[in-house]
Amino acid sequence: MQNAQPLVKTANALVAPGKGILAADESTSTIGARFAALGVENVERNRRDYREMLVSAAGASEFISGVILYDETLRQNCADGTPFVELLEERGIIPGIKVDTRAHPLAGAPGEVVTEGLDGLRDRMAEYYEIGARFAKWRAVIAIGPHLPSSYCIEVNAHALARYAALAQEAGLVPIIEPEVLMDGDHGIDRCYDVTQDALREVYSQLAAQRVMLEGTLLKCNMVLSGKEASNRAEQEEVAERTVDCLMRNVPAAVPGIAFLSGGQGDDEATDNLRTINIRGKEVGAPWQLTFSFARALQSTPLQIWAANGGAPLPAQKAFYHRASQTAAARNAA
Ligand code: 13P
């Protein structure tokens, strides 16, 4: 790697105290599904207006260090012609880019998926750097079921995450490494703990084998939770204890920060868990910043308000500011 310093600086800026990341990198089909539920047409102009509403919200940059964008938005201009990247830079927010090309069925493993996107990735990331991105994201998806996940699924996904991470660092982009263990299912919290642990062990083994410099990376992972349909879901205190314990055992101290995904938790549930996790992390002397990289838990309410007000930005921006301030306060809890 040519120069590690900018990567370390960016990674630390993304998880700076009081701040976290907004994930606004929904693919065109994912944002389309969210729009459709609210009667909004999935056309480029609406996608632009909605995302412009978010990133231009007054005061949001007090809490948001970086925004993960989808390819379309990274190349897009705001309504007044200013490139999105320029607007973010003016506001002191670091532009990031989702670079995987989604999870696809994994051959020979019914019900499991592997994230693709390595072909041509070196050139794509060089271009993203030129456009102004300074960090990247790749999401691996691991489902829990009666016989899932297989070690095969965990291994191939971790291998791909490490290949991506090494290429991202070569391109000057901080890789956000995201092995997401899904909360779908009726499993208990112990099962989520075990699967998250298996995934993290394999990921850090692959990152070491593939010479990734951990100081210039961030981990984005799930909280350790009971399945969404579990009969007796674990309470906040247990979630915090199990999450921090799992991370302490499996994530090297060289990693500057861990930014949680919200994963389908309600807005308040995700925020409350983040608060308790931070309190627990401080109690046990966790060596990393523990912050957020939420999509749904930051966006659901503002999106509903935006749609209900015919795309008027102000009411939705107030809601976004409120959610971002609550989440940042939780991330600072001691
Ligand atoms: P959620 O917070 O909605 O889980 O999304 C985070 C994300 O970026 C998933 O890759």
Minimum-distance ligand 1 atom for the alpha carbon of 68: 8
**CA distances to 39, 45, 92, 315 from 302, in Å:** 15, 18, 22, 8
| Under 8 Å between Cβ of 214 and 170 | no
Minimum-distance ligand 1 atom for the alpha carbon of 23: 8
Burial 163-202 (b: 16+ CB within 10 A, else e): bbbbbbbebbbbbbbbbbbbbebebbbebbbebbbbbbeb
Question: Phi and psi (nearest 5°) for 28?
Answer: -60, -35
Distance from the alpha carbon of residue 28 to the mean position of ligand 1, in angstroms: 15
Minimum-distance ligand 1 atom for the alpha carbon of 299: 3
Distance from the alpha carbon of residue 273 to the mean position of ligand 1, in angstroms: 15
**The pLDDT of residue 42:** 98
Residues 6+ apart with CB under 8 A from 141: 103, 113, 115, 157, 180, 182
**The pLDDT of residue 2:** 54
Taking the CB of residue 35, how many other CB atoms lie within 10 A of it?
A: 19
Taking the CB of residue 160, how many other CB atoms lie within 10 A of it?
A: 19
pTM tops 0.85, yes or no: yes
Could you list the pLDDT tens digit for every one of the 334 residues in the chain?
557 999 999 999 999 999 999 999 999 999 999 999 999 999 999 999 999 999 999 999 999 999 999 999 999 999 999 999 999 999 999 999 999 999 999 999 999 999 999 999 999 999 999 999 999 999 999 999 999 999 999 999 999 999 999 999 999 999 999 999 999 999 999 999 999 999 999 999 999 999 999 999 999 999 999 999 999 999 999 999 999 999 999 999 999 999 999 999 999 999 999 999 999 999 999 999 999 999 999 999 999 999 999 999 999 999 999 999 999 999 999 9
**The pLDDT of residue 235:** 97
Pocket test for ligand 1, best of 262, 269, 301, 331 (most atoms within 8 A of CB): 262
Q: Whose CA is nearest to atom 9 of ligand 1?
A: 261
Question: Does the beta carbon of 296 lie inside 6 Å of ligand 1?
Answer: yes
**Annotated catalytic sites, by residue?**
178, 220
Distance from the alpha carbon of residue 119 to the mean position of ligand 1, in angstroms: 24
Pocket test for ligand 1, best of 177, 261, 265, 291 (most atoms within 8 A of CB): 261
Distance from the alpha carbon of residue 178 to the mean position of ligand 1, in angstroms: 10
Question: Does the beta carbon of 323 lie inside 6 Å of ligand 1?
Answer: no
**The pLDDT of residue 1:** 56
CA atoms within 13 A on the CB side of 114: 20
Residue 102 pairs in a beta bridge with none
**CA distances to 12, 152, 157, 243 from 175, in Å:** 12, 23, 15, 22
Distance from the alpha carbon of residue 2 to the mean position of ligand 1, in angstroms: 31
Minimum-distance ligand 1 atom for the alpha carbon of 263: 4
